[in-house]
A and B are shown apart, each in its own frame.
Chain A
């Protein structure tokens, strides 16, 4: 029997706390990104795009690693919760990857002079987006719960190989995209205030990710024919 959405959404008790935390962290991050953090010496205010672009890319990585772990869990134990987590994280990951691509494109036009260029980081990110879009399309083609979950889990377990490829593409190949500034050997290559703003933005969007995950998983579990 299918539960109605409002019942399902009101289920998790943690949801209101996550919503409040997300709003507060988001407000703090906005203030820091727009007012407190300094403009860049070369890029000016354009650098502020980084405060959403970088966390979006980081959350895309996180989402797809969660898809991988949940997919392995499904293949291991056939737990319906694992499948619900996988689909929820994949949808959110695709959203964040799309956001990172769009914001990167907006940043690239005034910086590089083009909206899009054939550059390793951009191409590998677009490929990652296509792979997870394919994952979601695959899920939509089947109504049988177990079969759909197994097919999706196989694809979800393989597609995670893209994450290190995307991250390391700038160091492996000659890239126009800048090298990693935080997740790299040695200290971060960022001004202190910029770095702390970036960290707060990452935390704020990670809380938002957790909020979206809890809500989406509860919807998926309500839809699922298996408890």
Chain B
């Protein structure tokens, strides 16, 4: 029952995004702008160093996740739909889970697009493309649980734009380190390191998802 409601919220969210893809456009736009800006600021040789390219891409993706999830909750507030969802039985759980599923799918698209864009623009040679794909997939699972949680926590705050990055970015540091290192290893051709970082990333994704599902719904007002 809960899962059906969560699926309903996620489906509604994705339909809204398809009808008016402002979250997706903003997230993709942010990633593209940051990749362009980085290459201009540090020069293409430095920007194309695997460690720098991976770190910058995933910082951009973390910011893009914050942007997309914030936009998604904003839509509920603008339409006054939040109150209606919250009065349903298990409404908070369904809302958190639904938003999380939608954010994960959205981030997956943005991460794949952003990675392709980075490889194309910086002319990167990827030694292990399947490893890169795997790290990107797990990375897309690892960021949204905490971001959704922190956006939910600060939903009714006027200073939300300040609070969410302030809380979320330090909390995402282990995930960002793991995904950047995993991507760097995949680009450089170190399969063992890439898989090891991928495992750590998966553990972080699991821990943050459990924490999010346990206390996330309580944070939604």
Contact = CB atoms under 8 A, between A and B. Distances in A.
Interface string B27-59: 000000000000000000000000000000000
B167 to A, nearest CB: 5
A79 B216 CA distance: 19
Given A157-B211, A158-B149, A138 B163 contact: yes
Interface in B136-167: 146, 149-150, 153-154, 156-159, 162-163, 166-167
A103 interface: no
A134 B170 contact: yes
Interface of B: 146, 149-150, 153-154, 156-159, 162-163, 166-167, 170-171, 173-174, 207, 211, 215-216, 218-219, 221
A154 B149 contact: yes
A138 B154 contact: yes
B170 A151 contact: no
A154 B218 contact: yes
Interface of A: 75, 124, 127-128, 130-131, 134-135, 137-138, 141-142, 147, 150-151, 153-155, 157-159, 161, 165
Contacts of B170: 127-128, 130-131, 134
B166 A137 contact: yes
24 contacts: A130-B166, A130-B170, A131-B171, A134-B166, A134-B170, A135-B167, A138-B157, A141-B157, A141-B159, A141-B163, A142-B157, A151-B157, A154-B149, A154-B215, A154-B218, A154-B219, A155-B150, A155-B153, A155-B167, A158-B171, A158-B211, A158-B215, A161-B171, A165-B174
Q: Which 7 A-B pairs have the closest CB atoms?
A: A154-B219, A134-B166, A127-B170, A131-B170, A134-B167, A130-B170, A151-B153
Which of B146, B153, B170, B219 gathers most chain A CB within 10 Å? B170
B218 A150 contact: yes
Nearest to B204: A161
Given A154-B219, A157-B211, A165-B174, 13 more contacts: A124-B173, A127-B170, A127-B173, A130-B166, A130-B170, A131-B167, A137-B163, A138-B153, A138-B163, A138-B167, A150-B221, A158-B211, A158-B215
A147 B166 contact: no
Contact of B171 (A137, A151, A159): A159
A154 B157 contact: no
A155 B154 CA distance: 10
Contacts of A159: 171
Contacts of A150: 218-219, 221
A21 to B, nearest CB: 35
Nearest to B169: A130
Which of B146, B163, B207 gathers most chain A CB within 10 Å? B163
Which of B146, B167, B221 gathers most chain A CB within 10 Å? B167
A181 B54 CA distance: 36
Contacts of A155: 150, 153, 167
Contacts of B156: 147
A147 B207 contact: no
Contacts of B158: 141
Contact of A147 (B146, B150, B167, B221): B221
A137 B150 CA distance: 14
B171 A154 contact: no
Contacts of A137: 162-163, 166
Nearest to B145: A158
B172 to A, nearest CB: 10
A137 B157 CA distance: 12
Given A75-B218, A165-B174, A154 B153 contact: yes
A86 B195 CA distance: 39
